[in-house]
Amino acid sequence: MFNKTLTLAVAATTLIVAAPALAQEVKLGFLADLTGGIAGFAPGMVDAGNLAIANVNDQGGILDGQTLTSVIADSGCDASAAGPAADRLVNAENVVAIFGGFCSGATLAGANGSAIPGNVVMISPASTAPAVAELDDNDLVFRDVVPDSVQGVKAAELLLSMGVNEVGLTYLNNDYGSGLAGAFADAFTAAGGTVLANVAHEDGKADYRPEIGQIEAAGATALVIYGYENSGGGAILNQAIESGSFDLFMGGDGMAGDALLASRNGADLEGMILTQAAAAEGPAYNALDALTAAAGQDVNGTYVTNSYDAVFLLALAIEKNGSADRAGVSAALREIANGPGETILPGEWAKAKELIAAGTDINYEGASGSIEFDDAGDVAGAINYWVIEGGVAVDKGLIK
């Protein structure tokens, strides 16, 4: 009888100790492309996401004081790697929601393979391919980045406004590259411009001179490159500079980042144009600027604002949902992101928790721009452009 009583007592004690431990963490998956084509700026995006998590935990944690934690899976900017990475997050780590993917192909693979079947909400801060909006996703896949259907059109308008009426175009043969190139080419030609050569390229090659030769043979002196700086797009840029045939280069967001200039002679890039979704101005941006500065991060880093916003939005949605269950997160996300409601700025976690607990509607205003999700889970937004001048990228503001 004594042994039986002791055994039951130990078991009860074990349950008392173990139960709170199981409930202490709320996991967010980070489907992050730390290797591959955007490895140059992906770490800054992860840092921004973890800053949002730190802000949550420093102000009382999530739900009933639990700790919000990140679980990182490297999707390598590659669909074949993203599938297993997302599967680990959804089915092994049992994350509540996913920040990511970053590259469009990684987002599509992760969503179709694991997130959608597992009823897991995803917010991508950088997947701009039109195909993301076409997913049959049960309202689970969101983006707080402006899609390529906007970026490509604005890039075309910018060149035409500068008197550039003929271009050569090369794009990475994946969802991101083909989507952005398609939007650009359609808008450019519809407005009277001519795409003299439109050439797909594959990542991972040492020699892109055949692709460059096709564009040179067509007579183009302006070259638009839609690829990744850390991979084929960067190699094409280097070899195109060597050829000496081009007097103007343009790149999209995949070509942006500190590595563009860090590994090249700035004089070779003089006048190069880069397009990217515009960060917000005003109180939300200023709030994140202060937070990133205190953490030693750069608010102007590639997709830093989008990344912080995505993770903070997911945390707010879980808090609004009232539990760490996956069910209900999507609906809660729309409630806290779309107006009306009392404004919440980056970092204002304690204020948001208090309002949610009181049953007051909130409306998160992002540092990346006003976040109002449409039926496809996308946001409207604007496009900025930068020009390389004197070895630095100079922000020229919005493309009007």
Q: What is the pLDDT of residues 230-283, one digit of tens each?
A: 889 999 999 999 999 999 999 999 998 788 999 899 999 999 999 988 877 899
Instruction: Quickly state the pLDDT bin for 324 (edges 50, 70, 90).
Output: very high
Q: What is the pLDDT of residues 290-299, one digit of tens each?
A: 999 999 999 9
State the residue for tokens 């969503």.
111
Answer yes or no: is pLDDT of 19 > 80: no
- Long-range residue pairs from 208-211, CB within 8 A, at least 24 positions apart, any chain: 208/232, 208/235, 208/236, 208/239, 209/239, 209/243, 211/170, 211/236
Answer yes or no: is pLDDT of 21 > 90: no
Q: Amino acid identity, residue 53?
A: I
Residue 386's pLDDT is: 95
Q: Which two tokens stand for residue 46?
A: 């992860």
Which residue did the predictor score with more confidence, 14 or 240? 240
Instruction: Quickly state the pLDDT bin for 136 (edges 50, 70, 90).
Output: very high
Cβ density class 347-382: b for 16+ within 10 Å, e for less: bbbeebbebbeeeeebbbbbbbbbbebeebbbbebb
Rg (CA), the chain: 23
Residue 17's pLDDT is: 36
Question: Of all residues in the chain, what percent carry a pLDDT higher than 70?
Answer: 94
Q: What is the mean pLDDT of the chain?
A: 92
Topology of 148-277+382-398 in CATH?
Rossmann fold (3.40.50)
Q: Where are the domains of the chain?
A: 8-146+281-364, 148-277+382-398
Q: What is the pLDDT of residues 24-67, one digit of tens each?
A: 899 999 999 999 888 888 999 999 999 999 999 999 999 999 99
How far apart are the C-alpha atoms of 326 and 318, rounded to whole Å? 8
- Mean predicted confidence (pLDDT) in 302-314: 96
Instruction: Quickly state the pLDDT bin for 4 (edges 50, 70, 90).
Output: very low
Residue 12's pLDDT is: 37
Answer yes or no: is pLDDT of 149 > 90: no
Whether 214 contacts 208, CB under 8 Å: no
Answer yes or no: is pLDDT of 10 > 50: no
Q: What is the pLDDT of residues 341-385, one digit of tens each?
A: 999 999 999 999 999 999 999 999 999 998 999 999 999 888 999
Whether 324 contacts 28, CB under 8 Å: no
- Mean predicted confidence (pLDDT) in 164-191: 96
Residue 227's pLDDT is: 95
How far apart are the C-alpha atoms of 149 and 300, rounded to whole Å? 23
- Beta strand pairing status for 97-100 and 121-124? parallel
Query: 269 vs 164, 180, 198, 240, 262, CA distance in Å?
Result: 17, 22, 22, 11, 12
Residue 14's pLDDT is: 36
- Mean predicted confidence (pLDDT) in 118-125: 98
Q: Which two tokens stand for residue 293?
A: 């500065």
Judge residue 309's burial from the number of C-beta atoms within 10 Å of its C-beta, 0-12 exposed, 13-18 middle, 19 or more buried: buried
Q: Which CATH architecture has domain 8-146+281-364?
A: 3-Layer(aba) Sandwich (3.40)
Q: What is the pLDDT of residues 216-234, one digit of tens each?
A: 999 999 999 999 998 899 9
Evaluate whether 8-146+281-364 and 148-277+382-398 have a shared fold: yes
How far apart are the C-alpha atoms of 45 and 130, rounded to whole Å? 21
HSE toward the beta carbon, residue 158, CA cutoff 13 A: 27
- What is the pTM for the complete model shown? 0.82
